[in-house]
Homo-oligomer: A and B are copies of this chain.
Amino acid sequence: MKITINSPLDMHLHLRDEDMLKVVAPLSSKDFTAAIIMPNLLPPVTTIQDVKAYKQRIKDAIGDDNFEPLMTLFFKDNYDYEFLKEAKEYISAIKLYPAGITTNSEGGVSSVDASSLAPTLKAMSELEIPLCIHGESDGFVMDREKEFVPVYEHLATAFPKLKIIMEHITTKDSVDALKRHDNLYATITLHHLYITLDDVAGGMLQPHLFCKPIAKRPEDKEALLQVALEANPKVMFGSDSAPHPKTAKEAPGCAAGVFTAPIALPALAQLFDKHGKLENLQAFISDNAQKIYNFKPLKKDITLKKEEFEVPANYNNVVPMFAGEKLSWKVL
């Protein structure tokens, strides 16, 4: 059995920089047509110059034109209309981080408040620049996303024309919120469709499955699975693939992030196949995103076959999800 995905898209991707960029960028460009590139470098991507230079470094790391990095700016509340109008030509979205909430987010906003952020959000709304948000409070780890839902809803109501992407949602609360507002959308990762907190800390501790937002409860995973498998038009695939060196993941104080980019397509095919929903994979992994972001990606077909694929133990010392395990689908 085979399936061909037209223009697979990864709508939330960390490519990092320098040596790590050179390791991981080709692994994404191999399987995907385009990806929304996260701007949380050190320092973050906040100027048009930064965007252009980072895009060039990505293209250099890949070495061909068969993959389109969809660039983002790191949200700052001093971005004004004139700046954004110019920036629009170079970016696909702007990513907002509450300060300190995840890797390299120290320069994020100290309070996600519709009135203090109004000038920038109003300009983004007028210019039709989507706003991507890492939506977590600074509360108890299992409550952070739930506590952020009212913020999403407040912004969605205050800026009804602004497309707001709830990034890497992990809870039933978020799925429910998504359905209440026309202008709320979401990315869903591969790993949150597969794991709960049990897989991270229920048996032995598994640092390679430790991520932010942390994997939640079984009923949360079920809610995510439901909208992903039905390819609900409000959701799209975004891996949040976040590479860290093996040594950084396997030490105390392990960094957050699951590395899924090189195994995402076969693992998604396996999951949709298992649930008898292969016919919805195209929409989840490409068509929905094209509609939400209103763009036409490069044409690139990726064919997968139902055949055993043993996931490598690591890619240049970056350990992927399912390392050493067997998946039932492989990319041809």
- Taking beta carbons and an 8 Å cutoff, which residues of A are in contact with B? 140-142, 196-198, 200-202, 204-208, 210, 214, 217-218, 249-256
Contact = CB atoms under 8 A, between A and B. Distances in A.
Contact of A204 (B200, B204, B255): B255
A208 B253 CA distance: 10
Contact of A208 (B201, B218, B252): B252
Given A141-B197, A142-B217, A198-B141, A251 B253 contact: no
A9 to B, nearest CB: 30
Contact of A206 (B197, B202, B253): B253
A106 to B, nearest CB: 13
Given A140-B217, A141-B197, A204-B253, 11 more contacts: A141-B201, A141-B202, A142-B197, A204-B254, A204-B255, A205-B207, A205-B210, A206-B252, A206-B253, A207-B207, A207-B254
A237 to B, nearest CB: 25
Contact of A218 (B140, B197, B206): B140
A196 B143 CA distance: 13
Contacts of A250: 250-252
A51 B201 CA distance: 33
Contacts of A208: 252
A293 B251 CA distance: 41
Nearest to A206: B252
A140 B196 contact: yes
Given A250-B250, A250-B251, A251-B250, A140 B202 contact: yes
A210 B201 contact: yes
Contacts of A205: 205, 207, 210, 252-254, 256
26 contacts: A140-B217, A141-B197, A141-B201, A141-B202, A142-B142, A142-B197, A142-B217, A200-B201, A201-B201, A201-B214, A204-B252, A204-B253, A204-B254, A204-B255, A204-B256, A205-B205, A205-B207, A205-B210, A205-B252, A205-B254, A205-B256, A206-B253, A207-B207, A207-B252, A207-B254, A250-B251
